[in-house]
Amino acid sequence: MMRKVTALEHISLDGVIQAPGGPDEDTSGGFTHGGWVGSYSDESLGKLLRRQMDLPFDLLLGRKTFDIWEPYWPHHADIWRGVNTATKYVVSNTITSSEWQPSVFLNGDVAQKVAEIKQQPGPDLHVWGSGNLLQTLMRHDLVDAFWLMIYPVTLGGGKRLFAGGSIPAAFKVTESEVTPGGVIVVNYERAGAITTGI
C-alpha cells in the first residue's frame, strides 16, 4: 500500500501559512505577524493537534522548517514523542547530514525522490510548514491530503499555501470540527478528478 503525503498547516483565512508559531520563526519578506496562532490556542485545538501528532508518521520537511526544528525538538520529546524517532526526509541542496537522527537528505529531482519514497513501506509522510517544498509537491500531484487548521484572521501578506497554484483535483472532507475559538480543523482527502456541472 502506498504511503500518503499529508500537508498539515496552520492557515489564515487568506491562505497564509508563514510563521504561525512565534515572532522570529520566519521574518523573510518582511513578515511581521509571526506567532499569529497563539491567541486561538485552547484545549479543544490542543486535543485535535495531539491526536494528529500521535499518529504513526515520518516527516517530509523543507530546509527552513528543518533548521527551525533541529535545535528544538531533540530537547522536547516530552511534548511530541514521535518527532525524534520518525525518519526525517529533508529537502536541501546544501546540507547532507545532521546530528538529529534518523534524517535522510534529498536533493536533485525532489519530486521523483518523494514519489519513490511513497512506494516504499513505512508510515505516512507528514509535511508541517515547508511552504516552498509544498509548492513542488503540489505541482507534481504528490499531496494526498490537507489537514488544515483554518484561523479566523487575515494577515494581508506572507507565504501562502497555494502560492504556486495547484492542479485541478477534487477532495472530500473526512473530518471537521470548529473549536470554541473559531478555528476550523478539517481534513481534505483526494477524491479523484473534478466533476463539473451540466
Q: How confident is the model at residue 57 (pLDDT cuts 50, 70, 90)?
A: very high
pLDDT of residue 197: 81
pLDDT mean across residues, the chain: 95
What residues does each domain of the chain span?
Answer: 5-190
What is the 3-state composition of the chain as percent helix, strand, coil, each rounded to the nearest 5?
A: 25, 25, 50
- The residue whose grid cell reads 486535543 is 47
The whole-number pLDDT of residue 132 equals 92
H helix or E strand, kind and range, residue 176: strand 171-178
Band of residue 81 on the pLDDT scale cut at 50, 70, 90: confident
Q: What is the pLDDT of residues 125-173, one digit of tens each?
A: 999 999 999 999 999 999 999 999 999 999 999 999 999 888 999 999 9
pLDDT of residue 192 exceeding 80, the answer is yes
**How far is the C-alpha of 139 from the C-alpha of 5, rounded, in Å?**
14
* Rounded Cα distance, 24 and 31, in Å: 9
CATH T-level topology, domain 5-190: Dihydrofolate Reductase, subunit A (3.40.430)
Phi, psi at 46, each rounded to 5°: -60, -40
Strand order in the sheet with 103-106: 103-106, 88-91, 58-62, 125-128, 5-12, 145-151, 184-190, 171-178
